[in-house]
Amino acid sequence: MGLIVQKFGGSSVANTEKLEMVGGHIRKEVENGNQVVVVVSAQGKTTDRLIAEESEITKNPVKREHDVLVSTGEQITISKLAILLNKMGQKAVSLTGWQVPIVTNSEHTNSRIRYIDNHKIHEYLSAGNVVIVAGFQGIDENGDITTLGRGGSDTTAVALAANLKADRCDIFTDVDGVYSSDPRMVENVMKLDTISYDEMLELSSMGAKVLHNRCVEIGKKYGVPIYVKSTFEKDSIGTLVADKEPFEDLVISGVTKDDYISRITVVGLENKIGRTYQLFKLLAENLINVDVIVQSFGEHITKDIAFTVKMNDLGKTLEILEENKESLKIEQVLHCENLSKVSIIGLGIANKPGVASDMFEALYENNINMHMISTSEIKISVLVNSNEADMAVRAIHGKFFGK
Amino acid sequence: MGLIVQKFGGSSVANTEKLEMVGGHIRKEVENGNQVVVVVSAQGKTTDRLIAEESEITKNPVKREHDVLVSTGEQITISKLAILLNKMGQKAVSLTGWQVPIVTNSEHTNSRIRYIDNHKIHEYLSAGNVVIVAGFQGIDENGDITTLGRGGSDTTAVALAANLKADRCDIFTDVDGVYSSDPRMVENVMKLDTISYDEMLELSSMGAKVLHNRCVEIGKKYGVPIYVKSTFEKDSIGTLVADKEPFEDLVISGVTKDDYISRITVVGLENKIGRTYQLFKLLAENLINVDVIVQSFGEHITKDIAFTVKMNDLGKTLEILEENKESLKIEQVLHCENLSKVSIIGLGIANKPGVASDMFEALYENNINMHMISTSEIKISVLVNSNEADMAVRAIHGKFFGK
């Protein structure tokens, strides 16, 4: 007898009909002789609706109370699903975050899980129940309701799987796995059978909205095999996210694109210890998220630093730099708008020579200019003009996966 | 400095605009130097909507899960109201039933309060907060969410007032107090300044939907002064429900009417100990609610018993009696449909002779026939034909309160 954690997102539980499909997936695992713990999100647009109602009162709610409000969404789903399963003849109980309990720190709207007490879950499982846990929510040590922030239900599912030492964690969603690129952009995308945690981390932080980073990190740390599957296909095999040997198959796992990026170049920053720190600390204090940073300098008195921020942070960033030009001892600030970051991801990158040059060749053949390059062990990113980005993705995908 | 419990029902918190009116009532008490505990219901039709969604799945949900579902309604209201008060500059925190905690027995959908732990409430009050508690809900000793059934939020409010030894409990609703009769039926109804717990109990169990019986019972037991007030009138004085001396003012407090009643007469029941018990046990086992029971017999071998049931229980009742005619040794069953029960309620009834005859006189003057009479210390009820019931109420009201 195994123990499986299944997670169903908002679109998978949006209405009664869809809940019945979910019921089918659960029953199948029970019939396979497994114990099943289910994690669900709020139904469809429920959370959006609650937040819209809240913003009628204020755009700036007390965070403690915001968590009390939005956590009702998942509570509605767990009870409905438990009612459905019992009607189907399958014993089931629901548990809210505080009932499990899933204990978090007190950072409302963006809490981290501290520990999970699984006694109650095991008790209910032993009594023959499917246990349905509300995703996204927890309780802090003060007894207050907390929520986990973006990707919260995925995080709940994988954390529970780790804590319960589950055989696997199935993340059901509206796609049937992880693809080599965005099918809306690239023809002949390839569904990946497996992908490593590290590759998935790079993919999920870069716009492939399949799994949230936090859950992949937990999966990696505790070695939880995560399957990404489709709720709506009957026998979806999906993609397995797990530890993987780097050489085995593909050089790269995927090509991704991230839009609305601007590049800022700080020219002539005083080349003195602490100046760079001072610069980025200032941006961090103003809650500006800096992505890629590239620095090049030799033995000069000044250095140049280029970095990227989201387009909607550009104005504020330029303002801050202008205001602090003197204290930071900057000569000049340049910027470039409407860029996209195109990246390839793969464990093979570090070990296969020529991957970067293959990527650059694909761009060269299509006459696409690169505004910045940055590389890591398993990723190469380039900045290109946004109007050439889709072409860039297609060209690179064709180069590595065949047309 | 006093401690006030305020309760606002579903129509008083239905939308943001109404929540702001509620905020005004709360702020007024704070400005008067009081500590304030607020109890709220689910907004407007929220509970109805949740139950409609649930019935898409099944009409017969597991009760444990039903409570998890419907309790989200009040949780939404408490968080929104806390967000609003904080925005107004008034510190406020919300508490769900389990957070207080309000500990109940485990009878889901109809739980009774066992005890309330008020440490957390006092802590938050001492720190200058308005404390907003979700009505209608609690937690059982197993850590499961429970709900209190009909009138649950009123019960929460008065129970909290009793537990906190509050100076008073204000029940805000959409009427500005308790009236001598239904204004839709009778002109010149009188708003009562005060009414005793016992009178209110009779009134609320008989269709005057202002306060639920359970909260009045708790109020009586612990001597909580309860004010029924209007949310929508600025300086509503309302009606005080409290201990009252019987002689002081009015002979009667109100005239009420209850429709859709049928009378069943069991003729020739064997006059033997246990037969009556057997009869009503049989009805109770079939979940038939019997209201008035009148029995008259002398030294005969048989006796006659008449009782009333709701019209929609009539068919089933007649069927049961027919099936058990032999075992119960009944000669004949008669019935009479489309009746209404008209009652007068007042502490004065027991101590003022002639109240009953005044009531009967009013009916006689209007040529209204009575099908049954029953009396208690503080109530006299008669059954009349439903098409004459409104006229009966007006005639009796006129007799006691003046035209």
Closest residue in B to A53 (Cα) is B16
* Shortest Cα distance, chain A CAs vs residue B98, angstroms: 10
Backbone phi, psi, residue B375, to 5°:
-135, 150
> What confidence score (pLDDT) does residue A99 get?
98
Picking from B222-226, B299-303, B371-375, B387-391, which range would have the lowest pLDDT averaged per residue?
A: B299-303
Degrees (nearest 5) of the Cα angle B262, B263, B264?
A: 120
Q: Is B177 left (phi over 0), alpha (psi -120 to 50) or beta?
A: left
Please indicate whether, in this complex, the C-beta atoms of B53 and A82 are within 8 angstroms of each other: no
Residue A392 near residue A368 (C-beta atoms within 8 A): yes
Say how many CA atoms lie within 13 Å of B37 toward its Cβ. 32
- Rounded-to-integer distance, Cα A152 and Cα A42, Å: 11
A116 vs B191: which has the higher pLDDT = A116
Backbone phi, psi, residue B44, to 5°:
40, -115
Residue B403: pLDDT above 80?
A: no
- Rounded-to-integer distance, Cα A236 and Cα A131, Å: 23
Closest residue in B to A86 (Cα) is B62
Place of tokens 């050439």: A388
- Rounded-to-integer distance, Cα A254 and Cα B26, Å: 57
For residue A75, give the nearest of B68, B80, B86 by CB distance. B68
| Residue A153, both tokens | 């239900």
Q: What is the 3-state secondary structure of A116-147?
A: ECCHHHHHHHHCCCEEEEECCEEECCCCCEEE
The predicted model gives B284-304 an average pLDDT of 77
Most B CBs within 10 Å: which of A65, A74, A106, as the mutation test of the B interface?
A65
* Shortest Cα distance, chain A CAs vs residue B45, angstroms: 15
* Shortest Cα distance, chain B CAs vs residue A169, angstroms: 25
Task: Using CA atoms of B363, B369, B374, B377 in order, give the dihedral in degrees to the nearest 10.
Answer: 0
Residue B385: pLDDT above 90?
A: yes
- Rounded-to-integer distance, Cα B278 and Cα A249, Å: 81
* A322-344 exposure pattern, b = at least 16 Cβ within 10 A, e = fewer: eeeeeebebeebeebeebbbbbb
- Rounded-to-integer distance, Cα A178 and Cα A198, Å: 14
Backbone phi, psi, residue B169, to 5°:
-125, 115
- Rounded-to-integer distance, Cα B143 and Cα A100, Å: 10
Query: From the CB of residue A249, how many other CB atoms can be counted at a distance below 10 Å?
Result: 14
Please indicate whether, in this complex, the C-beta atoms of B58 and A83 are within 8 angstroms of each other: yes
B239-242/B226-230 β-pairing = antiparallel
| Residue B226, both tokens | 């309860």
Picking from B4-13, B185-194, B247-256, which range would have the lowest pLDDT averaged per residue?
A: B247-256
Q: Which residues of B touch A (CB under 8 A)?
A: 16, 19, 50, 53-54, 56-58, 60-62, 64-66, 68-69, 71-72, 75-76, 78-80, 82-84, 86-87, 93-94, 96, 98-99, 120, 143-145
> What confidence score (pLDDT) does residue A247 get?
46
Q: The domain A3-242: what is its CATH number?
A: 3.40.1160.10
Please indicate whether, in this complex, the C-beta atoms of B16 and A56 are within 8 angstroms of each other: yes
The dihedral sign for the CA sequence A299, A302, A304, A305: positive
A194-196/A254-270 β-pairing = unpaired
Please indicate whether, in this complex, the C-beta atoms of B79 and A60 are within 8 angstroms of each other: no
> What confidence score (pLDDT) does residue B234 get?
77
Please indicate whether, in this complex, the C-beta atoms of B80 and A58 are within 8 angstroms of each other: no
Please indicate whether, in this complex, the C-beta atoms of B69 and A75 are within 8 angstroms of each other: yes
| Residue B27, both tokens | 């702020």
DSSP A370: -
> What confidence score (pLDDT) does residue B175 get?
83
- Rounded-to-integer distance, Cα A300 and Cα A303, Å: 7
A290-296/A302-310 β-pairing = antiparallel
- Rounded-to-integer distance, Cα B145 and Cα B70, Å: 10
Query: From the CB of residue B167, how many other CB atoms can be counted at a distance below 10 Å?
Result: 15
pTM of the predicted model, to two decimals?
0.82
| C-alpha separations of A3 from A29, A121, A215, A381 in Å | 9, 12, 18, 39
- Rounded-to-integer distance, Cα A130 and Cα A369, Å: 55
Please indicate whether, in this complex, the C-beta atoms of B68 and A82 are within 8 angstroms of each other: yes
Task: Using CA atoms of B161, B162, B168, B170 in order, give the dihedral in degrees to the nearest 10.
Answer: 50
Residue A137 near residue A78 (C-beta atoms within 8 A): no
Within chain B, what is the greatest distance between any pair of CA atoms? 77
Q: May I ask the CATH class of domain A254-401? A: alpha beta
DSSP B127: T
Backbone phi, psi, residue A39, to 5°:
-115, 130
* Shortest Cα distance, chain A CAs vs residue B152, angstroms: 20
With CA atoms as reference, report the closest residue to A144 among A106, A179, A111, A177.
A106
- Rounded-to-integer distance, Cα B60 and Cα A375, Å: 59
Q: Using a CB-CB distance cutoff of 8 angstroms, which residues of chain B are in contact with residue A65?
A: 79-80, 82-83, 86, 93-94
* Shortest Cα distance, chain B CAs vs residue A76, angstroms: 5
* B231-243 exposure pattern, b = at least 16 Cβ within 10 A, e = fewer: beeeebebbbbbe
Q: Using a CB-CB distance cutoff of 8 angstroms, which residues of chain B are in contact with residue A64?
A: 82, 93
- Rounded-to-integer distance, Cα B238 and Cα B170, Å: 9
For residue A57, give the nearest of B16, B60, B143 by CB distance. B16
Residue A289 near residue A230 (C-beta atoms within 8 A): no
Say how many CA atoms lie within 13 Å of A335 toward its Cβ. 19
B237 vs A204: which has the higher pLDDT = B237
Q: Using a CB-CB distance cutoff of 8 angstroms, which residues of chain B are in contact with residue A82?
A: 62, 64-65, 68
Residue B296: pLDDT above 90?
A: no
Q: Using a CB-CB distance cutoff of 8 angstroms, which residues of chain B are in contact with residue A80?
A: 53-54, 57, 65, 69
- Rounded-to-integer distance, Cα A363 and Cα A68, Å: 50
Please indicate whether, in this complex, the C-beta atoms of A65 and B83 are within 8 angstroms of each other: yes
The dihedral sign for the CA sequence A190, A191, A193, A198: positive
Residue B204 near residue B211 (C-beta atoms within 8 A): yes
Please indicate whether, in this complex, the C-beta atoms of A53 and B80 are within 8 angstroms of each other: yes
pLDDT tens-digit map of B53-83:
999 999 999 999 999 999 999 999 999 999 9
Place of tokens 């936090």: A214
> What confidence score (pLDDT) does residue B248 get?
53
For residue A83, give the nearest of B61, B75, B93 by CB distance. B61
Q: How far is CA B49 from the centre of its chain?
A: 23
The dihedral sign for the CA sequence B324, B325, B327, B328: positive
Q: Which amino acid is at A203?
A: L
> What confidence score (pLDDT) does residue B204 get?
62
Q: Using a CB-CB distance cutoff of 8 angstroms, which residues of chain A are in contact with residue B64?
A: 82, 93
A354: Cβ contacts below 8 Å, ≥ 6 apart: none
Q: Which residues of A touch B (CB under 8 A)?
A: 16, 19, 50, 53-54, 56-58, 60-62, 64-66, 68-69, 71-72, 75-76, 78-80, 82-84, 86-87, 93-94, 96, 98-99, 120, 143-145
| Domain boundaries of chain A, sorted by first residue | 3-242, 254-401
The predicted model gives B346-375 an average pLDDT of 85
Residue B66 near residue B106 (C-beta atoms within 8 A): no
Top-confidence range, A257-271, B89-103, B378-392: B89-103
> What confidence score (pLDDT) does residue B247 get?
46
Backbone phi, psi, residue A65, to 5°:
-75, -35
- pLDDT in 10s for each residue of chain A, 403 residues: 799 999 999 999 999 999 999 999 999 999 999 999 999 999 999 999 999 999 999 999 999 999 999 999 999 999 999 999 999 999 999 999 999 999 999 999 999 999 999 999 999 999 999 999 999 999 999 999 999 988 899 999 999 999 999 999 999 988 888 888 887 888 888 888 888 898 888 876 554 567 888 899 999 999 999 999 998 887 778 999 998 765 455 678 889 998 999 999 888 888 777 788 888 888 888 888 888 888 776 556 777 888 999 999 999 999 999 999 888 888 889 999 999 999 998 887 776 777 888 899 999 999 999 888 888 878 888 999 999 999 999 999 999 887 5
Closest residue in A to B91 (Cα) is A62
The predicted model gives B80-105 an average pLDDT of 98
